[in-house]
């Protein structure tokens, strides 16, 4: 029967497990989950770049620590199941898979009893490859490790050391340990601090009683909590009864309760600069913030709720959903090994869609109202383009013979013939500063621009262009361009020239084709700009600075 035992190939498997989809930040958080599960009150991270380009990451905690047997079990792929199921650990893999995704050698040094010697064991992937066996390394504690222990750990606690960090930075540097690599490490540090501040904000915030307090630092700088719900200024819109979701167990398991709260953030235009920095309102920041046992595992995104339309629409950027569950619902939410992904099954997806419908509508309304106010308030100035067009005598453009505001049609003499009837917006009594080019609220077809016929009185209409103030191009590109000299005028003239050329070549046969073209252009632009955030006042200011450089 021995031929039925088929042990994994140590080298192939240990290397294969490097690519389980971690990045530096998620891997680091998996190590810190273990510290929190070990009841640590302090967790400190240090990232070292040596002069020769070698990189080390140290994670120290003051948790309950382990003896030698404990370290041995901890380093086993598939560690024993934890006694406390509510702890952040679950699969017995995190320490190993997270570490090896970043480095080829990871060491655990730990002490369970004050005064006892440090227990130390390590995996080295090169050693496993050389020997072809699941053999760890037992070596004395090195000076740099002892130093890190003294600095980062408590009386008891655990130090995890990542060395041979071949995947810490995504790039290789010509000059190892040089200024550019140092700068990359600095960015990594900032990114990690931010990530930890978000993921563990309930643990880091002394004012948040939901989790016990844990202090963290990265290279000596304290990690500050960041609560994405921004409760100081946001409004939670679900009633107490709506906040509880009773989940059935899977395969006869007990099931449990999830909790959901819907927060509508204030629009950036009503926040101070400091508040804006705190709220961090971005397109990608909308959606579900999923917490498992109080630890954030999914920052934003709609996870299929609200269908494809729910994917990062700018007008939903003020809605953040705080969603909580415990380990008892891991099965129900299909938690993955990295505990960074969950799935909603169709029944819960439907429940959430209904539950959150009003919150969504309210968030959208608030956003749109503010955007309208702002677009009106920022008053993008289309006067220069109108002045230029007025002052340029030899422009090639069709002559409008009559325009009928009731029927919304005009008769023109153009390249197609003398009396060509064209449908399009007709506006009387407009300001001279908006007779050729105007931004309007009245376009409901989604088109970015439409050719139109405008007059400062009730006759003598000119061929003109109307721009859709609600199109993403207007909201994202025009609003940003507003601070940049001639950019608005240039775009105005371009759209005017398109519109006038269209009127020049339009007739009953051509008009639907031109309309189709405008629709395709407008819809492609909307898709292309989907991930570009709507210009906030701060962007406009940044742009001014960038423009002056
Ligand atoms: N900082 C630590 N302090 C004390 N014990 C630890 C520490 N880190 C790891 N351990 C021990 O090592 C074991 C293995 O950790 P590992 O992260 O691989 O698995 P896990 O946390 O149990 O599950 P998961 O795969 O979900 O992370 C843990 O169950 C714990 O007993
Ligand atoms: Mg773990």
Find the 126 Cα to ligand 2 centroid distance in Å: 23
Report the distance separating Cα 396 and Cα 403, nearest Å.
20
DSSP class of residue 309 equals: G
pTM (predicted TM-score): 0.72
**Lowest pLDDT segment from 236-250, 410-424, 495-509, 533-547:** 533-547
112 lines ligand 1 (CB under 6 A): no
Q: 50: Cβ–Cβ under 8 A, 6 or more apart, which residues?
A: 56, 177
Report the distance separating Cα 344 and Cα 335, nearest Å.
10
Report the SS3 class of residue 412: strand
Per the CB < 8 A criterion, the answer to whether 40 and 94 are in contact is no
> In the numeric block, which tokens belong to residue 66?
């382990």
Chain segment 194-213, per-residue pLDDT in tens: 999 999 999 999 999 999 99
Chain segment 525-541, per-residue pLDDT in tens: 999 988 887 766 544 43
95 lines ligand 1 (CB under 6 A): yes
Give the ligand 1 atom nearest the CA of 91.
Answer: 25
Q: What per-residue confidence (pLDDT) applies to 247?
A: 86
Confidence of residue 485 (pLDDT cuts 50, 70, 90): low
100 lines ligand 1 (CB under 6 A): no
Find the 93 Cα to ligand 2 centroid distance in Å: 7
35 lines ligand 1 (CB under 6 A): yes
Per the CB < 8 A criterion, the answer to whether 105 and 122 are in contact is yes
> In the numeric block, which tokens belong to residue 471?
């199109």
Q: What per-residue confidence (pLDDT) applies to 542?
A: 36
């Amino acid at each position: 029967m021995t031929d039925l035992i088929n042990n994994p190939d140590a080298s192939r498997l240990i290397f294969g497990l490097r690519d389980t989809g971690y990045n530096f930040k998620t891997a680091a958080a998996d190590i810190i989950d273990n510290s929190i599960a070990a009841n640590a009150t302090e967790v400190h991270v240090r990232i070292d770049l040596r002069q020769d380009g070698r990189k080390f990451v140290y994670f120290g905690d003051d948790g309950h620590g382990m003896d030698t047997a404990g370290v041995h079990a901890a380093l086993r792929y598939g560690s024993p199941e934890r006694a406390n199921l509510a702890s952040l650990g679950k699969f017995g893999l995190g320490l190993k898979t997270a570490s090896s995704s970043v480095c080829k050698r990871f060491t655990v040094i730990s002490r369970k009893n004050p005064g006892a010697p440090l227990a130390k064991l390590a995996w080295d992937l090169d050693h496993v490859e050389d020997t072809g066996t699941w053999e760890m390394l037992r070596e004395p504690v090195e000076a740099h490790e002892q130093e890190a222990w003294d600095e980062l750990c408590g009386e008891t606690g655990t130090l995890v050391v990542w060395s041979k960090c071949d995947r810490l930075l995504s790039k290789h540097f010509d000059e190892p340990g040089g200024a550019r690599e140092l700068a990359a490490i600095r960015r990594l540090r900032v990114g990690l601090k931010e990530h930890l501040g978000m993921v563990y904000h309930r643990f880091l915030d002394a004012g948040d009683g939901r989790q016990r307090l844990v202090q963290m630092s990265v290279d000596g700088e304290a990690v500050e909590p960041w609560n994405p719900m921004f409760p100081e200024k946001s409004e939670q819109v679900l009633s107490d009864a709506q906040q509880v979701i009773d989940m059935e167990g899977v395969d006869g398991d007990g099931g449990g309760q999830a909790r959901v709260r819907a927060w509508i953030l204030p629009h950036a235009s009503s926040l101070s600069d400091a508040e804006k920095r705190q709220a961090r309102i971005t397109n990608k920041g909308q959606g579900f913030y999923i917490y498992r046992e109080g630890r954030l595992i999914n920052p934003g995104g709609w996870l299929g709720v609200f269908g494809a339309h729910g994917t990062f629409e700018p007008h939903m950027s003020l809605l953040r959903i705080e969603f909580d569950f415990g380990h008892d619902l891991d099965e129900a939410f299909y938690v993955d090994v990295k505990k960074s992904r969950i799935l909603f099954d169709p029944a819960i997806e439907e429940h959430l869609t209904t539950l959150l419908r009003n919150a969504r509508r309210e968030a959208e309304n608030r956003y749109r109202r503010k955007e309208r106010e702002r677009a009106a308030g920022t008053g993008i100035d289309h006067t220069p383009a109108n002045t230029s067009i007025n002052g340029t005598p030899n422009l090639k453009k069709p002559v409008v013979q009559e325009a009928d505001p009731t029927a919304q049609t005009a008769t023109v003499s153009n390249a197609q013939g003398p009396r060509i009837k064209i449908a399009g917006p007709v506006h009387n009594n407009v300001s001279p500063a908006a007779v050729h080019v105007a931004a309007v609220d009245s376009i409901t077809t989604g088109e970015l621009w439409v050719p139109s016929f405008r007059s400062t009185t009730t006759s003598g209409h000119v061929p003109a262009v109307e721009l859709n103030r609600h199109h993403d191009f207007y909201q994202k590109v025009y609003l940003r361009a507003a601070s940049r000299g001639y950019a608005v005028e240039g775009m105005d003239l371009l759209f005017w020239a398109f519109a006038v050329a269209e009127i020049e070549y339009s007739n009953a046969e051509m008009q639907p084709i031109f309309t189709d073209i405008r629709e395709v252009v407008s819809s492609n632009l909307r898709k292309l700009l989907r991930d570009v955030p709507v210009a906030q006042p701060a962007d406009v200011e940044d742009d001014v600075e960038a423009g002056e450089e």
